[in-house]
Amino acid sequence: MQGQALSISLSSESQALLDAAVDAVILITHQGIVEAFNTSAVRLFGYTTDEIIGRNVKLLMTDQDAESHDAHLERYVRTGQSRVLGIGREVVARRKDGSQFPAFLSIGRISGSNPPRFVGFLQDITLRKQAMAAIEEERERSNQTRERLLHVARMATMGEMASGISHEVNQPLAAIANFAQAASRMLRQSDSDLGDVRNALDQIAAQALRAGKIIHHLRKLVGTRDSHREPTDINELVRETDSLTRADAREHDVQVRLELTPGLPQLLIDRIQIQQVMLNLLRNAIDALAHAGIASREVSIRSALTPDGDVTVMVGDNGTGVAKEMLPKLFMPFTTNKTHGTGLGLAMSRTIVEAHRGRLEYQSNVPCGSLFMLTLPH
């Protein structure tokens, strides 16, 4: 065909070559008239060759595409410019019975044809689309299941911390009651100092804000919610987490030391999920020390910038460390040495961190104890 126009009547050899193609192959003129229609196209569209040859290819398009098709051909003949030649794209095609289906279409100009003629190759991608939709649906179900498990894990953690949390909330409430009683006594006195009354009222307001902040943090942590990532100051998140475990630390005589590097870049993370990871690590460290039988119990939380530009948070303790037999399955579900533990904390924590494209790793602390390293990309 090189150097001469394609005949409307294809030779038997040319037709046999077209019919051997797995894809639907359609040849059209510069006016959009169908000149050839292979066997795969017959099966795909439901037209016989006698029904389609000599008619406009718009018959195989949706109404929206058909409206603009002739204009595209006319512009190409006039200017030689095309937005579709040599570029595969997804389209919606129409069968003889009017049903529509998604297809992948590639169009090329037949070399040497003048006026120009074009050849189109179509693949029915219905099954591919259905498979992609099924994969997306399964991914969504998986995400929903993971969110439910995370919620259950948060609730279990809050249940385990209930005693400490109630103590943490009761402190500001008790302070509010004491300052209110003191202010009431002062106001009943004829020579009361209004400055002292104002000071008592300021203390009441401050303690109310403190209690409200604790409750606000708890509500955020245990509430059912969709995953939402936002720019976050990791040091601020560490301080919030420390405040939630302060009562547990006091109960077990554990000193928690914060060594936070200032000026760390903000991270695009799900605050609640990453706080849950920190909460798991910090509570594990406190629990480990509670049963370690040592006099000086210390937990350190450090933040730093790695040489790669990532941000890491390290939670270390000076306890006895993780037993060697536990190391290979440390991050596996239902692995725990706690009497009342679920064994889901570290497994869920690693899942959360990996979903953030980060790492959660363990190593022995120096000189003794455990060290967990949470690393998140910047």
Domain encompassing residue 39: 12-124
Domain end (from 97, 124, 151): 124
Residues 238, 376 within the same domain: yes
Residues 114, 240 within the same domain: no
Domain end (from 124, 152, 174): 124
Q: Is residue 54 part of a domain?
A: yes
For the purposes of burial, counting CB atoms within 10 Å of the CB of 188, is it exposed (0-12), middle (13-18) or buried (19 or more)? exposed
- Provide the residue-wise pLDDT of the chain in tens; the chain has 378 residues: 333 333 445 667 777 888 888 899 999 988 889 999 999 999 999 999 999 999 999 999 998 888 878 777 877 777 767 666 767 889 999 999 999 999 999 888 888 778 888 899 999 999 999 988 888 888 787 677 666 666 666 666 666 556 556 666 777 787 888 888 888 888 888 776 788 888 888 888 888 887 777 777 666 665 555 568 899 999 999 998 888 788 778 888 899 999 999 999 999 998 888 888 898 899 889 888 987 778 789 999 999 999 999 999 999 999 888 888 888 888 876 556 555 555 667 887 888 898 899 999 999 988 889 999 999 998
3-state secondary structure the chain: CCCCCCCCCCCHHHHHHHHCCCCEEEEECCCCEEEEECHHHHHHHCCCHHHHCCCEHHHHECHHHHHHHHHHHHHHHHHCCCCCECCCEEEEEECCCCCEEEEEEEEEECCCCCCCCEEEEEEECHHHHHHHHHHHHHHHHHHHHHHHHHHHHHHHHHHHCHHHHHHHHHHHHHHHHHHHHHHHHHHHCCCCCHHHHHHHHHHHHHHHHHHHHHHHHHHHHHCCCCCCCEEECHHHHHHHHHHHHHHHHHHCCEEEEEEECCCCCCEEECHHHHHHHHHHHHHHHHHHHHCCCCCCEEEEEEEEECCCCCEEEEEEECCCCCCHHHHHHCCCCCCCCCCCCCCCHHHHHHHHHHHCCCEEEEEECCCCCEEEEEEECC
Closest CA to 322 of 362, 287, 280: 362
Residues 116, 237 within the same domain: no
Residues 107, 242 within the same domain: no
Joined tokens for residue 214: 């604790």
Residues 104, 236 within the same domain: no
Please state the pTM of the whole predicted model. 0.48
The enclosing domain of 377 has a CATH number of: 3.30.565.10
Q: Is residue 344 part of a domain?
A: yes
Residues 377, 258 within the same domain: yes
Residues 113, 232 within the same domain: no
Q: Is residue 285 part of a domain?
A: yes
The predicted pLDDT at position 334 comes to 58
Residues 241, 377 within the same domain: yes
The enclosing domain of 97 has a CATH number of: 3.30.450.20
Q: Is residue 41 part of a domain?
A: yes
The rounded distance, in Å, linking the Cα atoms of 375 and 243 is 22
Domain end (from 124, 154, 183): 124
Q: Is residue 219 part of a domain?
A: no
The predicted pLDDT at position 31 comes to 87
The predicted pLDDT at position 181 comes to 84
Q: Is residue 334 part of a domain?
A: yes
The predicted pLDDT at position 5 comes to 38
Residues 235, 90 within the same domain: no
Residues 116, 250 within the same domain: no
The predicted pLDDT at position 155 comes to 66
Q: Is residue 329 part of a domain?
A: yes
Q: Is residue 130 part of a domain?
A: no
Q: How many domains does the chain have?
A: 2
